[in-house]
A and B are shown apart, each in its own frame.
Chain A
Amino acid sequence: MAIATAVRLNEAPKKRRRYRGFASSVWWFVLPALALYVFAVVYPSIRGSLFAFTDWDGVSPNPSWVGLDQFARILTDPNAVVAVRNTLLIAFAVTIIQNAIGLLIALAVNSQIKSRNVLRVIIFAPVVITSIAVGFLWQNLYSPGGGINQLLEAIGLGALQQNWLGDPDLAIWSIIFVVFWQFVGYSMVIFLAGLQGIPEEVLEAAAIDGAGPVRRFWSVVRPLLAPAITINVMLSLIGGLKLFDQVFVMTAGGPGGATNTISTLIYSNAFSLGRFGYASALAVVLSIFVAVASIIQYRLLALQER
């Protein structure tokens, strides 16, 4: 989540008093959390990284060390190349579309319109719905005789009917649209929280100085919204990189592997094909993407707040 903000906001205060109250009981506070965290995250992540350098099939007792072979295999596996491309495409496209439209909606429901509270509730509702329910619903809507095509027919745009999930070139964009539909409310809420932190007086002062709406947005609102923008970009980027449920349910990576993401490929390689070593190498690649995205975001945030 909002990792970089995390680190900054939690920087220890300069002056820190000595604490003696804990004495020797202090470990009992930390131990349960640490034990569960090491068990469920640290230890398996380290082992997962090590599997990436083996040819382990998930069953054999003695996997052999193959060095970087699994990573080399990713580069020559057409399925993996498509999955990496799709993963990056989803992450960037969702980030841009979801944040641009999320911001517009946030500006609209932050205005004086009377239905703003109802509209906020409606736009945010899909966020709380299970991703697999969303996936199944849209699988039906996208089907050749489904809701989307019926709607196009009804409004006289029958010529635009498509096989939304069956067309290899189109399917990935159909998935991107679903992720946008599901999570644009999330971006809206975070932008809204940021917008509500902007004092009315500042905007009025700018208006009195003769700034029009566009100028007011660009020169006053945008800089004050910077933290919300950073957090939103971060969340949608990392969420997009890890996307699994919706793809798994709607297309299972098909047609012909055209909509695989790194996550769906990890799943099929590990649990259908028994290639644990290869799946682990893909997981390491995904982790590197997530880490790079986080570090870049941290740098940008640090720059902004200077």
Chain B
Amino acid sequence: MRKYTWRTGILEVGTILVAVLFLIPIYILVNLSFKAPGDQSSTFAFPEQPTFQNYIDAWGQGGLGNALINSAIVTGGIVLFTVIFAAAAAYPLSRLGARWSKFTYLVFLAGLLLPAQLALLPLYQTIRDLGLLGTLAGVIIVGVGASMPFSIFLYAGFMRALPAEYEEAAALDGAHAFRTFWSVVFPLVRPITGTIIILTAVANWNDFLTPLLYLSGSDQKTITVAIYGFVGQYGAQWNLIFAGIIISILPILIAYFFLQKYIVQGFAGGLKG
């Protein structure tokens, strides 16, 4: 049944055609980014004189280098604290059968139902009143808090499936709870930690609304906010804009092509819970 027949051949050609249609927008994105400003040829035609100038200009005028660093700090900070805090919280919540721990777990899960839009305005106010507007710390705090429900849910599900014998052995050996968690439990949950790192990193690198609210107008911008401002400033210069867009998506695309096996597993696995 699983042989390569002429039917499979037709299927292959059809699927490749679909993929080509999918790639056309990406082709145009790359193609236009190499065209000189005066090049009036069709969107599909190769550049008359391919140029890197758009990339140089976009990099220089858009402050993209700084923005990439800010995005890396924000994403890295959110991922780091999300993993540590979510794993720590999920551990007792998944191990204790007490009423308070079940209740606390449900409080975390309730967060999965709340759209960010509901918290948007009051949170903006609080961040402003605390003097955190325009700081990366503000975005990190908000990002970590918002990541808790999904990450704790994934960790708790994974930890429940772990046998408790290792921890009990560690406890008998005299390890206190923190030591048991850090040396025994945390290494054992490594697969789900990988999934959470990938999901949290992609979501926060690509996030636009949160940094737009908390960082726009300041000189601390993430890459999404920088690109948004850049397009506003250079409205019709698409060659320049597309070069800027490619610079902004290149880090994550490169990461994707190297890690695509794990990323796809992470997405599928994370969603299967």
- A42 to B113 alpha-carbon distance, docked (Å): 11
Query: Which of B57-65, B142-150, B187-195 forms part of the interface with chain A?
Result: B142-150
- Cβ-defined contact, B121 with A276, below 8 A: yes
Interface check B141, CB cutoff 8 A: yes
Smallest Cβ-Cβ distance to B199: which chain A residue = A1
Assuming A22-B96, A111-B8, is B271 touching A231 (CB within 8 A)?
A: yes
In B244-273, the 8 Å CB interface with A consists of 245, 248-249, 252-253, 256-257, 260, 263-264, 267-269, 271-273
Cβ of B117 under 8 Å from chain A: yes
Q: Are B263 and A123 in contact (CB under 8 A)?
A: no
- The one of B18, B93, B108, B122 that contacts A37, using a Cβ cutoff of 8 Å: B108
Main secondary structure, interface of B, reads helix
Contact B263 A36 (CB under 8 A): no
Which chain B residues border A131 with CB–CB below 8 Å?
Answer: 206, 208
Alpha-carbon distance between A75 and B206 when the two chains are bound, in angstroms: 34
- A212 CB-CB contact with B under 8 Å: no
Chain B: minimal CB distance from A128 (Å): 5
Chain A residues in 8 Å Cβ range of B272: 2, 5, 190, 193, 227, 231
Number of interface residues of A (CB under 8 A): 109
In the complex, B28 has a CB within 8 A of chain A: yes
Interface string of A146-164 (1 = CB under 8 A from B): 1100110010000000000
CB of A105, distance to nearest CB on chain B (Å): 7
Out of A150, A231, A244, A291, which one reaches B43, CB within 8 Å? A150
Least Cβ–Cβ distance between B202 and chain A, in angstroms: 6
B264 in contact with A124 (CB, 8 Å): yes
Contact with B along A196-216 (1 / 0, CB 8 A): 000010011001000000000
CA of A230 to CA of B249 in the docked complex: distance in angstroms? Answer: 31
Instruction: Kindly list 17 other residue pairs between chains A and B, CB separation below 8 angstroms, not including A10-B160, A287-B117.
Output: A6-B157, A6-B273, A22-B96, A25-B176, A33-B86, A34-B89, A40-B142, A41-B114, A44-B126, A45-B114, A108-B15, A115-B16, A126-B26, A131-B208, A141-B28, A245-B209, A283-B117
Interface set of A (CB-CB < 8 Å, partner B): 1-3, 5-7, 9-10, 12-13, 16-19, 21-23, 25-26, 28-30, 32-34, 36-45, 47-49, 51, 58, 105, 108-109, 111-115, 118-133, 136-138, 140-141, 146-147, 150-151, 154, 181, 186, 189-190, 192-193, 200, 203-204, 207, 227, 231, 235, 241-242, 244-245, 248-249, 262-263, 266-267, 270-271, 276, 279-280, 283-284, 286-287, 290-291, 294
Show 9 A/B contacts (Cβ-Cβ < 8 Å), sorted by A: A21-B176, A22-B92, A30-B93, A37-B145, A41-B145, A44-B126, A128-B206, A154-B44, A193-B269
Closest 5 interchain pairs by CB? A40-B145, A193-B268, A33-B89, A44-B119, A47-B122
